[in-house]
Amino acid sequence: MEHAFVPVPEGAGKPYPVSRGGKPVFLTDDRGPVARRLARSLSDRGFSVVLNCLSEEPVPENCRKVRIDPLDQEGLEQLLRGLGPETCVLHPAPPPLRADVALADDKLWDRAFREGPLAALQTARAAGNALRGGSLVFLGDLHAEKPTGCAFLHSLGCAAVQMLCREAALDFAPKGISCHYVQRGVMESDLSNRNSRSNLYNEPQLQYPGRRLPEAEELAGLLSFLFSGEAALLNGADLRADGGMSLYYGEQETGKRPEGPADPEVPAPFLHGDPRRPSPKGRTALITGGGKGVGAGIARVFCAAGMRVCIGWNSSRELAEKTLAEIQAMGGEAFLYRADVTDRAQLEAMAAATAERYGGIDVLVNNAALQPNLFLHEYDEETFRRVWDINIGGYWRALQACLPYLRRSRSPRVVNLSSIHGKRPTLFDPVYAMTKGAIRMFTREAALELASSHITVNAVELGGCRIEGKTGGFPFKVRRLPEIERNPGHPLGGMCDPEDAGFLALYLAGEEASNITGAGIRLDAGSMLV
């Protein structure tokens, strides 16, 4: 399917896809209430859903029914070829088999292997042979990384498929096929399985920081994003759509839960509402470091989608004014505000000005950062302190400044821009990497603490990005450029543009991302896979 696009000013980056629906989606297994609700919700969002019916349950309305053995690679491949090369394949984990490590027998072991890792492998092989430019999403759960206590075969299978996804992402990238693993938490639809496989089913809502169970329709919002052109530079991602459950896991026995300040004005959270993509039009965002680079790309995408944006800037008036002119030329609504993120008073004034101008703040995008590109021995204490105070201290101050307004929003969102170097050493700026590691944990801590106010907090972990003013688009020292150019390390064949960061930030800032918090999502064209 060809996406519809909103044009952007010449030289500003990529056009903005505004349509997601219409693509064929093949759901490999209908067993379980979540799978069928996902099929219905994806169909409602405009996708053409083909459902492999392995159960005897009725087929959701507007979904096409097929029946094929999940181990029949040739049959799967033939089906996918008939659907088209850009088909999106959704492969859910099988229903868990209750089994203890000490008591499981060979028959149960073989069944779990066939229904889990082997079926996933056959699906991946069929997709790799049949698709060109499509998507493959493996839907698992938190037991890919957390033990069940009573269904170890399920945990083994999920962990194996999680690694299969990464291998497939690397192998299929030359064909333009993106692969992702989605870990879901316990959902409302799962309660029929209460106490059947894990202690998570014992009052599961108490394990969620926000004290509610996510719904399948929220998960469908994430899938529709992954199946769209907006997620083109995501590959090999491991996404936790668990409502923050993994942040709180391990404390369920004590009942401990962080409490935010009581606020009777906090509105009820957005759940799923209209099955179609909720419109971001009319929502307000404040973006620090929004005048240039990645921040400017996010501002352009937000405004193209109908959001109103405060563009925070400090060091480059010329580029900030250029960004504002581009937004105004496309009919977007935004204004500039100069604020130093190391100055609390200036950030508070910017937040107040935004709320006064637009009636509130729905989204905070923390982006302002400093990258001196110094080796460890080249840093002095003053420079160290300044980088730390901007890159992580600025995020903390901006969040505090916007918090009173976010708490009054119906769908409050915080998006922190980070980097893959929060997990991978840079070899060009160790202090910069330290701050990105700190942002990763700041995101998780804030997500846990603010869940009681229905505020989601997530991070976009960027890889190489084409940024105006950076040599060759790489944020590396010139002395390292030849090495990078010889081995770009981007399986999808390209680097991100600022607009790619904007597409992901727009999703996380939207109402349908209410099921994701505390996540760090890699946007790196698969570079972390190699």
Distance CA 221, CA 513 (A): 7
Other residues' Cβ atoms within 10 Å of the Cβ of residue 196 = 13
CA distances in angstroms from 176 to 28, 87, 473, 494, 501, listed in the order given = 21, 12, 22, 11, 19
Tell me, yes or no, if 432 is annotated catalytic: yes
User: Hey, is 238 helix, strand or coil?
Assistant: strand
CB 503 within 8 A of CB 226: no
Distance CA 214, CA 161 (A): 23
Report the relative pairing of strands 16-17 and 5-6 from DSSP bridges: antiparallel
HSE (CB half, 13 Å, CA atoms) of 337?
23
Q: What is the DSSP letter of 114?
A: I
CA distances in angstroms from 104 to 97, 108, 140, 519, listed in the order given = 10, 6, 22, 35
List the catalytic residue out of 16, 208, 395, 432. 432
The runs of H, that is alpha helices, within 45-105 are 73-83
Tokens found for residue 357: 């101008």
Tokens 């903005």 label which residue?
Answer: 16
Strands (E), 325-469: 333-338, 363-366, 413-419, 456-462
Nearest in space to 324 (alpha carbons), one of 315, 335, 316? 335
Tokens found for residue 454: 């229905």
Q: What is the DSSP letter of 279?
A: P
Distance CA 96, CA 196 (A): 9
Tokens found for residue 135: 């998507």
Distance CA 357, CA 355 (A): 6
Q: What is the phi/psi pair of residue 325, to 5°? A: -65, -40
CB 298 within 8 A of CB 287: yes
Greatest extent of the chain over all pairs of C-alpha atoms, in Å: 70
CB 240 within 8 A of CB 444: no
CB 33 within 8 A of CB 194: no
Tokens found for residue 353: 């000005």
Distance CA 468, CA 470 (A): 6
Report how many helices (DSSP H) and strands (DSSP E) the chain contains, helices first.
Answer: 15, 16
Tokens 């089994």 label which residue?
Answer: 99
Is residue 210 exposed (0-12), middle (13-18) or buried (19+ Cβ within 10 Å)? buried
Active-site residues: which are they?
Answer: 432
